[in-house]
Amino acid sequence: MRERPKIKDIAERAGVSVATVSRALSDSALVTAETRQRIHDLARELNYRPNVSARNLRTRRTMSVLLVVRDVGNPFYLDILKGVEATAREAGYSVLMGNTENDPARETEYFNMLRYGHADGMVLMTGKLPPSGGRNQLPVVVALEMIEGSGLPHVQVDNIAAARGAVEHLIGLGHRRIAHISGPVPEPMSLHRREGYREAMRNAGLDIPEAYEMRGDFLLESGQECCRSLFTLPEPPTALFVGNDEMAYGAVHELRRMGHDVPGDVSVVGFDDLYLSKAFYPPLTTVSQPRTEIGRTAMAMLLKILSGAEINREEPIVLPTVLNIRGSTAPPASNYCMSP
């Protein structure tokens, strides 16, 4: 037998044409059950494997999708990746990993991979977009990061409402001096979470001293640094609403280093509910996003687009968040407590 059998080999052995083999292998109804069986047996016997490149060329599809994130090393994406992968494979698709590292050139490159026919569609989790160029025609679904006015379908959470809920929790505990450490500005995700913070404060009639709004970059170290600045203020906050868990870890770490107890002296709320937030000390109160579900939904949406179905590109799909109240929040210490 030749190195690797092809349809032709099976056809010869079975005494039928390649067309029949192709049909039989794809379980077409246009083949007698009997021949179909015979061909299947023969295929197994010869250890036949279809050549995907040939099939792709012919069918003009690759049965694979691109999943593009800004940093594969970020644990935040894990469950999303998991959701995308699971949904993709259920539909027979493979997932190609893309990593932009915030480099617009790379992002363009991944769009080009779509155009090259490298993949059939893309789930995009970055905040920026290449210069356009007919990209709205491409099968792309944006997850998480809201790209304003992109015209691309997206699935996300309501960051404003979630943030507002988190801050309301702090206010409900009796906190009045609540500071915020935001993610990188002007990314929509950061802005929205900050907006939620502002809304909650405004609704409660609370002032936000300018120095209470710190800008971080979503990384642990910036959580530490921002926290340090906040606690050199003459009137430091009694509670922190931090833009993501990673910075919240940094903040708690720093608070401990400065001798403050969490939540005894300072309460901290995060955002994301990372993998380890429940094992953190103290277990972190944080907004939980349905990450796996986001992945699944985004991929399902992409599958729908790929199947040719019409979808509503304007109205984003918004998934619900939950505030997980754990050990890092408590009422303010009595000496800090002031009634309005």
Partner DNA sequence: CTGAAAGCGCTAACAA
Partner DNA sequence: TTGTTAGCGCTTTCAG
The region of 36-44, 83-91, 123-131, 299-307 touching a copy of itself under the rule CB under 8 A is: 83-91
- Interface with a copy of itself, residue 49, by CB under 8 A: yes
Angle between helices 33-46 and 18-25 in degrees, nearest 10: 90
Structure tokens at 335: 């000496």
The H or E element spanning position 178 is: strand 178-182
- Interface with DNA, residue 58, by CB under 7 A: yes
Residue-level length of the chain: 340
- Interface with DNA, residue 220, by CB under 7 A: no
- CB of 120 or CB of 187, closer to DNA: 120
Write the interaction track for a copy of itself spanning residues 242-281; mark x where CB under 8 A is met and - where it is not.
Answer: -------xx-xx--x------------------xx--xxx
Residue 72's binding partner, choosing from DNA, a copy of itself, none, with beta-carbon cut-off 5 to 8 A by kind? a copy of itself
Cα–Cα distances in angstroms (integers) from residue 182 to residues 3, 38, 48, in the given order: 59, 65, 56
Between CA 271 and CA 164 the distance in angstroms is 11
- CB of 6 or CB of 215, closer to DNA: 6
Structure tokens at 315: 């109205």
Nearest distance from C-beta of residue 62 to DNA, angstroms: 13
Instruction: Tell me the site size for a copy of itself, rule CB under 8 A.
Output: 45
How far out from the chain centre does Cα 182 lie?
18
Write the interaction track for DNA spanning residues 21-50; mark x where CB under 7 A is met and - where it is not.
Answer: -xx-xx--xxxx--x-------------xx
Structural contact between residues 19 and 58, judged by C-beta atoms closer than 8 angstroms: no
Continuous H helices in the chain: 7-14, 18-25, 33-46, 52-59, 78-90, 104-115, 159-173, 188-203, 220-230, 245-257, 291-306
Residue 230's binding partner, choosing from a copy of itself, DNA, none, with beta-carbon cut-off 5 to 8 A by kind? none
- Which residues of this chain interact with a copy of itself, rule CB under 8 A? 49-54, 56-57, 60, 62, 64, 67, 72-75, 78-79, 81-82, 85-86, 89, 94-97, 99, 112-113, 115-118, 220, 249-250, 252-253, 256, 275-276, 279-281
